[in-house]
Amino acid sequence: MSRKKPGTAVRLAAILAVVLTVVLSAVVLATVRTFAAQQRATVNRALVAETQGFANAAQARSSPGDFAAFTQSYLRTRVLPDGETVVIAIQGVGRFGSVGSDDLLASPEVRLLRTPPETSRLIDVPLPTGPVAVLEVPVTVSGQRLATVLVASDLSRLATDRMRMLLLASSEAARPGSRERTARPPRCQNPGMCANENPDEQRWLQPSGAGHHSVSGV
């Protein structure tokens, strides 16, 4: 007794389901990849801003004084975003860090730092608490390189946010009718008020937090 083969409609439906799954998976991956790139760009901008903040403060000191004392005072009064730490290595003096920077101070990248580098560099450093992005910048005052400022940002938070984004995008893609909602903009509920509305415009809000930091020295 021969088995009855599936009809043309069934085969087409199966093919369509496979194609739709592949397309939605590609869309989800592209969305997460774009989100991750935006995250990293935001982190890099924050690191640059923090290093520039210290360099500008060092240049604008009212009196030369003791650079180590200035550094410790700066770290005591500086309010850093949540997840950021700062280490300042003064040539021939020592290393000073904000609160929470103990792991970074103990890392080989900081312990082996003897003189300020000639150029800035951005590296990922594995720490016991998780990976961090570190921007290392030489500090020049009156034409002399005196120190190196290292600003670190916790990357584990980014991984958590990416996972949430992946779950959100996947659940949205799996909802019935998501294909139609993606292809067709939402219908205006009040045509008189929505005549000039652009459905492609989006606003992105980025949460930020701040924490208070004190100084530890090595």
Quick: pLDDT tens for 149-183: 999 999 887 777 767 777 776 776 666 655 444 44
Is 107 inside a domain boundary?
A: yes
Is 202 inside a domain boundary?
A: no
Cβ neighbours for 162, distance < 8 A, ≥ 6 positions apart: 32, 35, 36, 39
Tokens of 131: 């990976």
Is 164 inside a domain boundary?
A: no
Q: Could you give the CA distance from residue 40 to residue 28 in angstroms, rounded to a whole number?
A: 19
Is 181 inside a domain boundary?
A: no
Is 89 inside a domain boundary?
A: yes
**pLDDT value of position 120:** 92
Is 1 inside a domain boundary?
A: no
CB 153 within 8 A of CB 159: no
0.75 exceeded by the pTM? no
Comparing 59 with 71, the larger pLDDT belongs to 71
- The band of 195, judged by pLDDT with boundaries at 50, 70 and 90, is very low
pLDDT tens digits, one per residue of 122-148: 999 999 988 999 999 999 887 888 899
**pLDDT value of position 4:** 57
Query: Would you give the distance in Å from CA 169 to the centre of its chain?
Result: 19
Is 71 inside a domain boundary?
A: yes
- Of 79, 44, 68, 62, residue with least CA distance to 214: 79
Total number of domains in the chain: 1
**pLDDT value of position 180:** 47
Provide the residue range defining the domain that includes 118.
35-158
CB 161 within 8 A of CB 36: no
CATH number at residue 56: 3.30.450
Is 191 inside a domain boundary?
A: no
Cβ neighbours for 199, distance < 8 A, ≥ 6 positions apart: 185, 186
- The band of 6, judged by pLDDT with boundaries at 50, 70 and 90, is low
Tokens of 74: 């700066």
